[in-house]
Amino acid sequence: MDEASTHAAEQGLADRVTFALGDAAEPVSGRYDLVCVFEALHDIADPVAALRSARDALVPGGAVLIGDEKVADHFTADGDLLERLNYGFSVLHCLPATRAEGATVEAGTVLRPGTVRSYAAEAGYGGFTDLPVDHDLWRFYRLDPS
């Protein structure tokens, strides 16, 4: 937090940027046009609660942008290099770390679009868009409350 505040101040952003530390599954104060969750949804012990909090933090017309590891739509053995890399991260870090927090679901690093869509539906979102962003490592999803 201190380092983040220092970096923001160094860049002349202190009057526009604030930092808060907390559990994303807890209610968020303030209302926002855009809530971003970058490379974290697969690590959150209760991702549906986190998406619910994000939805509740939106102004009317606001949206949530999820960025998470680029994985294939479906599991296919043996998988390509990226799938294997992500399963390596998953088994060696993300799954055990999330389990240690008493996870409600244990997705691990390989969070497929169908899983994000089902979390979003459970969290009460009416809209889910798998965004057409072509990136080597990331996939992006837009969630709309209605």
Residues in contact with ligand SAM by CB under 6 A are: 23-25, 38-40, 43-45
**Residue 115 Cβ vs ligand SAM, minimum distance, rounded to whole Å:** 16
**Residue 25 Cβ vs ligand SAM, minimum distance, rounded to whole Å:** 5
Nearer to ligand SAM, 75 or 138 (CB): 138
Residue 139, phi then psi, degrees to nearest 5: -120, 150
- Sheet strand arrangement including 127-130: 32-38, 58-69, 138-144, 127-130
Q: Which three-class secondary structure state does DSSP give residue 65?
A: strand
Judge contact between 127 and 142, C-beta under 8 A: yes
Nearer to ligand SAM, 40 or 72 (CB): 40
Nearer to ligand SAM, 30 or 61 (CB): 30
**Residue 44 Cβ vs ligand SAM, minimum distance, rounded to whole Å:** 4
Q: Which three-class secondary structure state does DSSP give residue 34?
A: strand
**Residue 85 Cβ vs ligand SAM, minimum distance, rounded to whole Å:** 13
Which tokens is 126 given?
């009416």
